[in-house]
Structure 1
């Protein structure tokens, strides 16, 4: 095969075209061919509308323009619904975050009340231990002379243990 100095397909620089009338009709035909080819290959509905500066319109649609326009409007409607859904999702996430914070505050409140219950219980126990200690001290004074040394030592140790537990 002989190549006769062909440059092949080259990238066209985007710039203002001087001969717009010729360029419009060439590009319109090329665009129509590509749209038809795309429609045949993929089985999709394709449509485009071109407006000349003079106000004249040219269009290509496969199979009919009403069907393509209806699909376009349906997609636009679905996009707006999707955006609304996304916004409601963010609202749901915000509501979830608020609810999570509320639950955390409730847990802390329950923990505080449980601690106060525990504190109250501990105070009651302390009072009981102090009562036991005072009774033991009273018994110690009453029997100090009657009890042998070992038993006295034992009672004193019990009293000290109770004292340490109450501290």
Structure 2
């Protein structure tokens, strides 16, 4: 009797499922043993039944094989991750270099270089963008000029106000009158009399009579 092809899906009948598990478990353990003996391979097999029962086989030690597996996968994953990071960095650098080259080419076109490589559509697009840029530049220039004019007007108003304040201060201060000629003459006479008195007083000598004060 020819057996039909078994479908790879869960066996719904519990009894059939348990029988199939036992048969295939034994076959798997047998294959693992044969592989370790015939090929001198390090084999570790761990199986848990649906009820949680453990079945295992190891050509050496299950724990040592598992530790070896962890070390291998850790190093392999780390190396693989580092390689992926390096490749990603290279790809990003190449992408940035291409973008930079495209920007440099676009900049040269905006400056009027390499226009022979442009089509009519590209030239029209450059013209529109340049007109927009020129409009923005002129608007900014006009704004700066208006700000400068406003600052100059404010400065002018401040200077005018300071000038008016100075004029008011000058009006409020009293004027110093020059002395009359007669008063100047009287002061001159008084000064001369004072000088004569000083001369007379210097000629006086106090001492015994009959002696020359110059000796």
**TM-score with structure 2 setting the length:** 0.40
**TM-score with structure 1 setting the length:** 0.49
